[in-house]
Structure 1
Amino acid sequence: MAANVHPTAIVEDGAVVADGASIGPFCVIGPRVRIGAGTRLTSHVVVEGRTTIGAGNTIGAFSVLGGPPQHTAYRGEDTALEIGDDNVIREHATMNLGTPNGGGVTRVGSHGFYMIESHVGHDCQVGDHVILTKQATLGGHCQIGDYVIVGGLAAVHQFSRVGRHAMIGGLAAVVKDVIPYGSVWGNHAHLEGLNLVGLKRRGFDRDTINTLRAAYRLLFANEGTFQERLEDTAETYAGSPEVMEIIDFIRADASRPLCLPEREV
């Protein structure tokens, strides 16, 4: 089945639109864009730059994908945006190209939901099953793990890391790294505990959740130094893949501060 391109749409020479894709009214597709099978652009969508969009995506009106990075040092270099499969990208969403100094590629995974006016900044690496709710914003170079939810009007500071299955509350200003399975909110955001609702929804069993809760209490207790507690937690729960994911996340980039609890655990 050939691509369905509305007569008012502009698809520039060089663009590759797969069979079964649908390009709606008044869309503009640049010459270096590749769009996968079954992807549907509703109307007034702009896709530019060296942008690759996978299969089965739905992209809402007035979204702009592959626009230049919002970075003062960018001078039109050849960088890219890569979007996976089966995402829903709603109206007015924006996702920018990478920058030469940030790896050159912004990557967005599959099965995500990017609500109205959400933004993925340059050089972000976004996992699968991610939800950015209304007007949620990722600054440049953010690393967002699978199944992360970013609440409405929340912002994640550039270079921040957010681990898998974490939840960021609405209006939060995240300027520090968020551990996997964590739940943060506030301005500036602080760790409120584990994302228990998300863990239950995704089928984590009671024993796993109880182990995570016990490890959390040990890791963020007031006794000793944080490094001592980190080592104690790693030793005590070495057999738990979920706890060790948190430990490995913390150890992976010791140069960045962590979101910590605001009050005693």
Structure 2
Amino acid sequence: MRIHPTAIIEDGAQVHESVTIGPYSIIESGAVVGEGCRIESHVRIFGVTRMGAYNRVCHGATLGSEPQDLRFTPEKARPLIIGDHNHFKECVNISGGVKSEDGTRIGNHNYWMAFSHAGHDCIVGDHNIFANTATLAGHVEVGDHCFLSGQVAVHQFCRIGSYVMIGGVTGVAQDVPPYLLAAGQRARLIGLNVVGLRRHGFSQAQRTRIKQVYRLILRSGLRLEEGLARAEAEYPGPETARILAFIRASRRGIVSFAREATQPQSGAIDER
């Protein structure tokens, strides 16, 4: 273990012998820091944090901090559970949990750019990128392989499906289903996240099926349940199943398509 002499590791913290800790960082009692983690300068890891292996935490980041909830009291504190191979850049802030027993949960291989934030009780999957100042309010759920651009703000209890990209300076107030691209001062759907799908190996046949499913559900004029039932019958497959499960589980409703778009954009649902 390489620990700078100005760092503070409180009694009761569990820090793997391979961990590196930089100047003026604080690891509180109760925190767990796994194998191969790199904790840089002026980092504070609060006692509710349980961190896996090979994470990097850069200057000024705070992990497991007190939830920004006016009704929070110390006895309500719940953990922040972090997986492996995450990278937290400068001044990232991730809150501990307060409402759910499992607390805040971060998966593996996520990249958090400077000043990005996840509030209490968020659930984040794997291989996501959060650009500078991207912000998740409390109880937000994010799937896998998503890209949230700079200054994206996601309202509490919203859900972001896997393989979604959200454009910069976008406010998200409803759920964004899998595989889509959303943008706007208030998020509106633009079309498929074609570039992201190609990069992750989705074939032309898979992308076409996804387009057909969304066209039927969201652009055909059918009632939602009728559209879901027809999509399930006419376009069976794992992508369809994921879309239908996501929409059926929605409590805040689904982000709608941009009405002002008169010409189909690349990847749009109306593209032939």
Give the TM-score of the pair, scaled to structure 1: 0.95
Q: Give the counterpart of 2:60 among 53, 62, 84.
A: 62
Aligned counterparts of 2:121 and 2:176: Cα–Cα separation in 1 = 19
Quote the residue 1:21 is aligned against: 19
* SS of equivalent residue, structure 1 residue 72: coil
**Structure 2: where are the runs of 5+ without partners?**
262-269
* SS of equivalent residue, structure 2 residue 74: coil
Q: Does 1:237 align with 2:235?
A: yes
Q: Give the counterpart of 1:114 among 112, 115, 121.
A: 112
**Structure 1: where are the runs of 5+ without partners?**
none
Q: How many equivalent residue pairs?
A: 260
Does the 8 Å contact 1:41/1:59 carry over to 2? yes
Does the 8 Å contact 1:102/1:141 carry over to 2? no
Aligned counterparts of 2:180 and 2:233: Cα–Cα separation in 1 = 20
Quote the residue 2:265 is aligned against: none
Quote the residue 1:89 is aligned against: 88
Q: Give the counterpart of 2:252 among 238, 252, 256.
A: 256
Does the 8 Å contact 1:49/1:68 carry over to 2? no
Q: Which amino acid aligns with 1:39?
A: C
Deviations 1:121-176 (A, max 9, x none): 00000001011100000000001001111110001100001111111111110000
Q: Which amino acid aligns with 2:252?
A: R
Q: What's the offset of the Cα at 1:104?
A: 4.8
Listed as ranges, the matches of 1:22-41 within 5 Å are 22-41=20-39
Structure 1 stretches of at least 4 aligned residues deviating more than 6 Å after TM superposition: none
Quote the residue 2:73 is aligned against: 75
Listed as ranges, the matches of 1:108-147 within 5 Å are 108-147=106-145
Q: What's the offset of the Cα at 1:102?
A: 3.1
Aligned counterparts of 1:224 and 1:17: Cα–Cα separation in 2 = 56
Q: Which amino acid aligns with 2:247?
A: I
Deviations 1:185-233 (A, max 9, x none): 1121011111111000111111111111122222222433222222211
Aligned counterparts of 2:123 and 2:221: Cα–Cα separation in 1 = 35
Listed as ranges, the matches of 1:146-165 within 5 Å are 146-165=144-163
Q: What's the offset of the Cα at 1:72?
A: 0.6
Give the stretch that moved more between structures: 189-198 or 219-228: 219-228
Aligned counterparts of 2:86 and 2:93: Cα–Cα separation in 1 = 14
Does the 8 Å contact 1:168/1:184 carry over to 2? yes
Aligned counterparts of 2:231 and 2:78: Cα–Cα separation in 1 = 41
Structural RMSD (CA):
1.2
Aligned counterparts of 2:138 and 2:233: Cα–Cα separation in 1 = 35
Does the 8 Å contact 2:84/2:107 carry over to 1? yes
Q: What's the offset of the Cα at 1:182?
A: 1.2
Q: Give the counterpart of 1:202 among 200, 220, 234.
A: 200
